[in-house]
Homo-oligomer: A and B are copies of this chain.
Amino acid sequence: MKIPPVKGTRDFYPPDMAVHNYIVDGWKKASLRNGFEEYDGPIFEYLKMFQIKSGDEIVEQLFSLTDRGGRDLALRPEMTPTLARMVNQRINSLPRPIKWFSVPRLFRAERPQKGRLREFFQWNIDIIGTDDVLADAEIIFTTIDYLRQVGLTPDDIKVKMSSRRLLAAVLKKIGIAEANFDSMYALLDKRNKLPQETFKELLAEKVPDKQMADTINQFMELESVSNVERMFGHDELVEEAFNELAMVHRHLLENMKVGEYCKFDPSIVRGLAYYTGVVFEVHAEGSELRAICGGGRYDNLLKEFGGPEITGTGMGMGDCVLEILLREKGLLDRKVEGPDLDYFVACVPGITFDDQGGMVKSTVEDEVVRLTTSQLRTKGFRAAFSYKANAGLSKQFKEASAQNAKKCVIIGEEFKNKKLTIKDMDTGKQELVDYDEFLSWLDSAKGI
């Protein structure tokens, strides 16, 4: 019976897995050098946990299941609710600020399309327990630190920054009722994703006053932070939010030296309901791709999940859009390594050896297994041999090449005098070495 994989999931064959590991290892290293500690949680949680604060789109796309006890569960569509739960559970014993990262597997029951799958991986970094703008800057710096390290330049990508607090102050100044803010955010977040006309119609429905709607559009098109003040005159709330954003930008520019990656873009809103402060998205320049990642400050999240009022700021980056971009820019092929072998042990087939006393015989195939396992691998080297050694040396060399072996060890007639041939697979050079000296050298080269 032949059964296909489920649509929207991926099979990671070894070459795909190498790319996946390259991405995830990079995320982990960037997190660690920026001082984040790793955590993880379960793949499923109680369904209601994801209904609290994740926003309608995510709730509609939940993979839900019922366990034998009749409990309603769901596969996690994002990591933040689990993070909030875990932090709340130990809020009194965790030293603050909490700087954590995770690379969870996430699930969304949406229509699979370019850059969007039903099962994906997401890099999450969060700093919880400080309202210092430095934390917002550090989240953005860590994001850039990774993207820069994989080879993306300021010509390739831009961090577009804005502030929910600034947007709230602007909406208030314009005269939008605070009760409508949440649904306004969800609508304004779609501005860059919908055709211009469609968005204008939706906005007109929600904000019938044409002048108010125009002002919102004008604000979202501002290209410089300084224009905000010019547009709205003196307003304390606008000014506070504006200063906060300017301070984050100053850190990125003057202290963290990544200003060339960053720009102000008031059209950045973020879809999720829980953001309250600085928000940002990273976009590929001149590309139709969705955002590579996004994040921002959330003030009330822990409280919503039954915890205290503690503020946090974080970022999430999926693997799908990122991989498409890296491939488009040619940044994957050269960098992703297959499974390089240190040694491939080959033999001239059909030889038999007497041991010293002449009592026990071993075949050359035995010696191949012996050297590979009880010597090379046991000493920590990556080593392999052929299951078809009797097919001859040239077939064995082909297998060695296919597995990117750096060196071949060849056991032949000279092994009767305790000698081995070692072939450098790059240069093709061969060298006769003493067996015992080779073993001693292995010990000193790597140890276990």
Using a CB–CB distance below 8 Å, which chain A residues touch chain B?
1-6, 9-14, 17-18, 20-21, 32-35, 37-46, 48-49, 52, 63-65, 67-68, 71, 73, 75, 85-86, 88-90, 95, 97, 99-100, 105, 107, 109, 119, 130, 132, 134-135, 137-138, 141, 145, 149, 251, 254-258, 304-307, 338-339, 341, 362, 366, 369-370, 373-374, 377-378, 380-384, 387, 402-403, 448
Known contacts A34-B377, A134-B369, A403-B35; is-contact A42 B10 (Cβ 8 Å): yes
**Roughly how many angstroms separate A100 CA and B11 CA in the complex, as a whole number?**
14
Query: Looking across the interface, which residue of chain B has its beta carbon closest to that of A46?
Result: B3
Query: Which of B34, B49, B135 contacts A3, CB < 8 Å?
Result: B49
**Roughly how many angstroms separate A65 CA and B3 CA in the complex, as a whole number?**
17
B residues within 8 A CB of A21?
38
Do A374 and B255 touch across chains, with their CB atoms under 8 A apart?
Answer: yes
**Roughly how many angstroms separate A348 CA and B2 CA in the complex, as a whole number?**
68
Query: Which of B40, B68, B448 contacts A12, CB < 8 Å?
Result: B40
Query: Looking across the interface, which residue of chain B has its beta carbon closest to that of A130?
Result: B387
B residues within 8 A CB of A85?
3, 5
Q: Distance in Å from the Cβ of A382 to the closest Cβ of chain B? A: 5
B residues within 8 A CB of A42?
5-6, 9-11, 119
Do B64 and A39 touch across chains, with their CB atoms under 8 A apart?
Answer: no
B residues within 8 A CB of A64?
65
Do A73 and B6 touch across chains, with their CB atoms under 8 A apart?
Answer: yes
B residues within 8 A CB of A71?
6
Residue of A2, A68, A373 with most chain B CB atoms under a 10 A cut-off: A373
B residues within 8 A CB of A88?
2
Copies of this chain, how many? Answer: 2
The 5 closest A-B pairs by CB, nearest first: A2-B306, A9-B42, A35-B384, A65-B65, A257-B374
B residues within 8 A CB of A339?
32, 35, 37-38
**Roughly how many angstroms separate A11 CA and B38 CA in the complex, as a whole number?**
12
Residue of A4, A71, A377 with most chain B CB atoms under a 10 A cut-off: A377
Do B38 and A383 touch across chains, with their CB atoms under 8 A apart?
Answer: no
Known contacts A32-B382, A306-B3; is-contact A256 B373 (Cβ 8 Å): yes
Query: Which of B11, B46, B257 contacts A41, CB < 8 Å?
Result: B11
Q: Distance in Å from the Cβ of A398 to the closest Cβ of chain B? A: 10
Do B105 and A255 touch across chains, with their CB atoms under 8 A apart?
Answer: no
B residues within 8 A CB of A370?
254-257
Known contacts A1-B306, A6-B46, A145-B377; is-contact A35 B387 (Cβ 8 Å): no
Do A255 and B366 touch across chains, with their CB atoms under 8 A apart?
Answer: yes
B residues within 8 A CB of A38?
12, 14, 17-18, 21, 339
Task: Kindly list 8 other residue pairs between chains A and B, CB separation below 8 angstroms, not including A5-B85, A35-B403, A64-B65.
Answer: A2-B306, A6-B67, A14-B38, A17-B39, A17-B40, A34-B377, A68-B109, A105-B105
